[in-house]
Amino acid sequence: MNTPQNLKGFRDLLPKQMLIRNKVMSVLKEVFERYGFEPLQTPTLEYADVLLGKYGEEAEKLMYIFDDPGGRKVGLNYDLTVPTARVMSQYQNIPKPFKRYQIQSAYRAENTQKGRYRQFMQCDFDVLGSSSPLSDAEILAVISDVFTKLNLPNFIIKVNSRQILFSLMEKAGIPETMRFPTLQSVDKLDKKPEEEVREELFKKGLSKTQISLLFQCLKDAEPNENLTQIIELAQGLGAKNIMFDPRMVRGLDYYTGMIVETVVTEPKIGSVTGGGRYDTLIQSLGGPEMKAVGASIGMDRVCDVIEELNLWEEMKETATQVLVTIFSPETLSASLDVTTFLRENGINTDIYQDMESKLEKQLKYANQKGIPYVVIIGEDEVKENVVMLKNFQDGTQQKVQKEELLSLLK
Amino acid sequence: MNTPQNLKGFRDLLPKQMLIRNKVMSVLKEVFERYGFEPLQTPTLEYADVLLGKYGEEAEKLMYIFDDPGGRKVGLNYDLTVPTARVMSQYQNIPKPFKRYQIQSAYRAENTQKGRYRQFMQCDFDVLGSSSPLSDAEILAVISDVFTKLNLPNFIIKVNSRQILFSLMEKAGIPETMRFPTLQSVDKLDKKPEEEVREELFKKGLSKTQISLLFQCLKDAEPNENLTQIIELAQGLGAKNIMFDPRMVRGLDYYTGMIVETVVTEPKIGSVTGGGRYDTLIQSLGGPEMKAVGASIGMDRVCDVIEELNLWEEMKETATQVLVTIFSPETLSASLDVTTFLRENGINTDIYQDMESKLEKQLKYANQKGIPYVVIIGEDEVKENVVMLKNFQDGTQQKVQKEELLSLLK
């Protein structure tokens, strides 16, 4: 019989990965709520009608659509924007603007490749029902605070605007029908040499003059009034490392104003946030008419890189700070007592489960788990009313009073 | 066109509900990790083979089984035990005992009724790979600590043991084939009068003598050696309110030793935890041979009751503590400055998004949202270098220094 496996394209998150993820998640929640964003959760399953006809044929091929046991046509959520559009229709009495964040899985049957999973953590924060540049600025301020608090301070928040891109193309004499194809090529400028992109545009039918003019305009571009105001407001809200980048396009074509992308440069993680203003999307997805701006943080990518590069050195294999061992039936109650004392004082404490194991075996267990400290209470320690604290990192051990453990372990 | 709706049997969690849920979740995580339990997450989808043939035909009718876009037969996780059994087979190098907790949704196409949803939060914590009574005791200690920290101190942790129940039935002369049917009836004793249960047992074929003997034995029952030791160890670990209840059976028939159920008596929430020792289950679910003990906390029920009965009076409609208003373009930068100052100092702060609204409208927004405080900075306040703090609860307002806000808002 074969060992049962997790489904292809999906993954289990074992304790070390979960500890990183839980910490990232708690930083995100803390920052979102600090800026007045509120949590929302929608179900994993939606009526298929809610999901279909929104994102085009290609996307629908990746959707998990099926009949539930009651014969209803249903599907797993493909993103969090469509469910949010539904929520905004269904609960029209939610006061606007609604600053909401939503951290939950989305499901897409993509071709699997390293770092891409069919179930991934979507992490959206948006201001729904506001056209104010201050809302755009809040999105930038949140991004800045998130990466600062995640201890990834070398980030650049690239901003641009669809209006700027369109007016660039107008100046370069590029006809309206060619705008999206042109943007698609410009978008590749951070990955490909300029020469190749020029070639590609030529093949798409732009003239050499149009291409030259386009690149000249990209070079001379400056933020328009709206974007200048957004950047100033964001800086007023404490946002750092904002950079105007006229070559930044963002893939999705539903943005209507500011667009934003964050890259972490050192360590070189690449793009970790995308977003922008989308004043017509909620309605086109079946929601009410509602101007909105928001962004999404690539949480899986951030967590994976923190793990791979071991960026949080203080992160242990385990959340457990100390293992209390059991020496003998006579010392058991002393071990229980210290365990309870430590737990009551906020120290994550494990006690060795088998009450009749050799000390060696108990130490080996702590070592395997990566628990940094072990407490040993033998008969001598009970008599002297002390405990032995063993530090696995430097191999030292010392006899201390129970109360002293708190300062030594914290 | 109809307004799109959430799928029947599923639900959206709006901010107030999410705030309660997030707080409950963070208490649970904190307690679990305090006791040396580590987080695990498995995917929403599993191969159908992993799920089927484990829990019987009735359960399988409730499973969401379907073909994914790649033609694989897959299903949504029905509980967290089967995926955990798979994990224990797949990653045999996880050090044992493995104390793990898992908080995620499970999916069952049950008939919908009040308080029962097809997607529900499962919240399991188990010691896998241990037969030690200390592991049973740890489960009881965690339960006790969880309900104490959730501020639901009027709980009773009812414990019993399958061995005790079996030896009772042996003493009463009930044949082996009648044991599970008998237990099913005994299990109803907390909901039905004893007379009805006696009647039911008679109809199932027990003699009047057997029934009388059974009830006499239930009355005289005492904890056996194993359960006595578990209770003592749990008390040594600080567990409170443990009560031996020989009439407590637990529905599921896979338990092999201690069984546990927690009821909250005031407010009358009823059963909020179930669990016990299940030494053969992991193997029967396709995992390796592995003794285990654990319990599951009814998180949806706990959250719903906290919301309905308004048990956490300090819980607001929103996590936002204060709204900073914008008086005029001239005072905007002062409003941005105070907002940033408050956020940097850990106060959840919203700033009114539209920069050109009347103050009245801004106050109405704060009121609608349930934000308890509002900061107003008019031209006078800018000149005097102070801010006006308005308290919505008592209607008072006072001029204070920016720095004073911290102590007033915390």
pLDDT tens-digit readout, A191-243 = 899 999 999 999 999 999 999 999 999 999 999 999 999 999 999 999 999 99
Rg (CA), chain A: 27
Give B 5-34 residues with CB within 8 A of chain A.
5-8, 10-15, 18-19, 21-22, 26, 29, 33-34
Identify the pLDDT of residue A247. 93
Give A 122-141 residues with CB within 8 A of chain B.
127, 130, 132-135, 138
Rounded Cα distance, A291 and A136, in Å: 11
Assembly ipTM: 0.93
Q: Count CA atoms within 13 Å of residue A154 on its CB side.
A: 8
Contact B44 A43 (CB under 8 A): no
Identify the pLDDT of residue B252. 64
φ, ψ (nearest 5 deg) of residue B96: -110, 150
Chain B hits for A68, CB-CB cut-off 8 Å, are 64, 109
pLDDT tens-digit readout, B13-66 = 999 999 999 999 999 999 999 999 999 999 999 999 999 988 888 889 999 999
Chain A hits for B347, CB-CB cut-off 8 Å, are 34
Cα angle at B403 between B397 and B406, to 5 degrees?
75
Rounded Cα distance, A334 and A332, in Å: 5
Contact A74 B7 (CB under 8 A): yes
Q: Is B4 on the interface with A (CB under 8 A)?
A: yes
Q: How far is A183 from chain B (nearest CA, A)?
A: 31
Dihedral (Cα; B84, B88, B90, B92), 10-degree rounding: 160
Residue B339 is nearest to which of A38, A133, A237, comparing CB atoms?
Answer: A237
* Residue B161: closest CA among B281, B280, B261, B285: B261
Distances (CA, A) of B10 to A43, A287, B13, B105: 6, 19, 10, 12
φ, ψ (nearest 5 deg) of residue B326: -120, 115
pLDDT tens-digit readout, A291-321 = 999 999 999 999 988 888 888 877 678 999 9
pLDDT band for position A1 (50/70/90)? low
User: Is there a contact between B317 and B369 (Cβ–Cβ < 8 Å)?
Assistant: yes
Can you tell me which residue has the tokens 């679990």?
A: B32
Residue A90 is nearest to which of B3, B74, B90, comparing CB atoms?
Answer: B3
Identify the pLDDT of residue A190. 84
pLDDT tens-digit readout, A134-158 = 999 999 999 999 999 999 989 999 9
Between chain A and chain B, how many beta carbons pairs sit less than 8 Å apart?
261
Residue of A nearest to B316 (CA): A38
Rounded Cα distance, A91 and A76, in Å: 21
Rounded Cα distance, A258 and A158, in Å: 10
Q: How far is B193 from chain A (nearest CA, A)?
A: 37
Rounded Cα distance, B270 and A16, in Å: 36
Tokens (6 digits) for A220: 């001379």
Residue B1 pLDDT greater than 60, yes or no = no
Cα angle at A260 between A254 and A262, to 5 degrees?
135
Cα angle at B31 between B25 and B36, to 5 degrees?
125
For chain B, what is the largest distance between any 2 Cα atoms, rounded to a whole number of angstroms?
92
Residue B18 is nearest to which of A10, A39, A45, comparing CB atoms?
Answer: A39
Q: Which residues contact A385 (CB under 8 A, 6 or more apart)?
A: A401, A402
Identify the pLDDT of residue A359. 96
Rounded Cα distance, A55 and A63, in Å: 11
Q: Is B149 on the interface with A (CB under 8 A)?
A: no
Chain A hits for B80, CB-CB cut-off 8 Å, are none
Rounded Cα distance, B385 and A149, in Å: 30
Residue A236 is nearest to which of B13, B336, B346, comparing CB atoms?
Answer: B336
pLDDT band for position B286 (50/70/90)? confident
Q: What is the DSSP string of B313-339?
A: TT--SSS--EEE----TTTHHHHHHHH
Residue A7 is nearest to which of B45, B118, B349, comparing CB atoms?
Answer: B45
Residue of A nearest to B13 (CA): A41
Q: Is A72 on the interface with B (CB under 8 A)?
A: yes
Residue B315 pLDDT greater than 70, yes or no = no
Distances (CA, A) of B403 to A287, B400, B408, B410: 42, 8, 9, 12
Contact A40 B76 (CB under 8 A): no
Q: Directed axis angle between helix A299-308 and helix A15-34, to 10°?
A: 130
How large is the average pLDDT for residues B198-210?
95
Interface test with A, best of B23, B25, B34, B88 (most A CBs within 10 A): B34
Q: How far is B214 from chain A (nearest CA, A)?
A: 35
Distances (CA, A) of A262 to A32, A198, A251: 17, 25, 14
Identify the pLDDT of residue B339. 98
Residue A112 pLDDT greater than 90, yes or no = no
Chain B hits for A6, CB-CB cut-off 8 Å, are 42-43, 46, 86, 90
Identify the pLDDT of residue A410. 81
pLDDT tens-digit readout, A391-402 = 988 999 999 999
Residue B374 pLDDT greater than 90, yes or no = yes
Q: What is the DSSP string of B174-198?
A: --GGGHHHHHHHHGGGGTS-HHHHH
How large is the average pLDDT for residues B164-192?
91
φ, ψ (nearest 5 deg) of residue B155: -115, 155
Residue A254 pLDDT greater than 60, yes or no = yes
Contact A7 B238 (CB under 8 A): no
Indicate the average pLDDT of chain A: 93
Identify the pLDDT of residue A252. 64
Q: Count CA atoms within 13 Å of residue A57 on its CB side.
A: 0
* Residue A66: closest CA among B111, B67, B71: B67
More confident residue, B315 or B374: B374
Give A 365-394 residues with CB within 8 A of chain B.
365, 368-369
How deeply is A111 buried, as exposed, middle or buried, from its count of CB atoms within 10 A (0-12, 13-18, 19+)?
Answer: exposed
Give A 319-348 residues with CB within 8 A of chain B.
319-320, 323, 333, 336-337, 339-340, 343-344, 346-348
Identify the pLDDT of residue A312. 82
How large is the average pLDDT for residues A107-129?
92
Q: What is the pTM of this model?
A: 0.94
Identify the pLDDT of residue B269. 84
Residue of A nearest to B370 (CA): A95
Contact B12 A69 (CB under 8 A): no
Interface test with A, best of B2, B40, B68, B300 (most A CBs within 10 A): B68
pLDDT band for position B139 (50/70/90)? very high
pLDDT band for position B114 (50/70/90)? confident
φ, ψ (nearest 5 deg) of residue B367: -65, -45
pLDDT band for position B270 (50/70/90)? confident
Contact A40 B62 (CB under 8 A): no
Contact B45 A19 (CB under 8 A): no
Identify the pLDDT of residue B56. 83
How large is the average pLDDT for residues B177-205?
92
pLDDT band for position A285 (50/70/90)? confident
pLDDT tens-digit readout, B222-240 = 999 999 999 999 999 999 9
Indicate the average pLDDT of chain B: 93
Q: How far is B372 from chain A (nearest CA, A)?
A: 13
Share of chain B above pLDDT 90, in %: 83
Identify the pLDDT of residue B334. 97
pLDDT tens-digit readout, B120-133 = 999 999 999 999 99
pLDDT band for position B266 (50/70/90)? confident
Contact B13 A40 (CB under 8 A): yes
Pairing of strands A270-277, A292-297: antiparallel
Rounded Cα distance, B385 and B334, in Å: 9
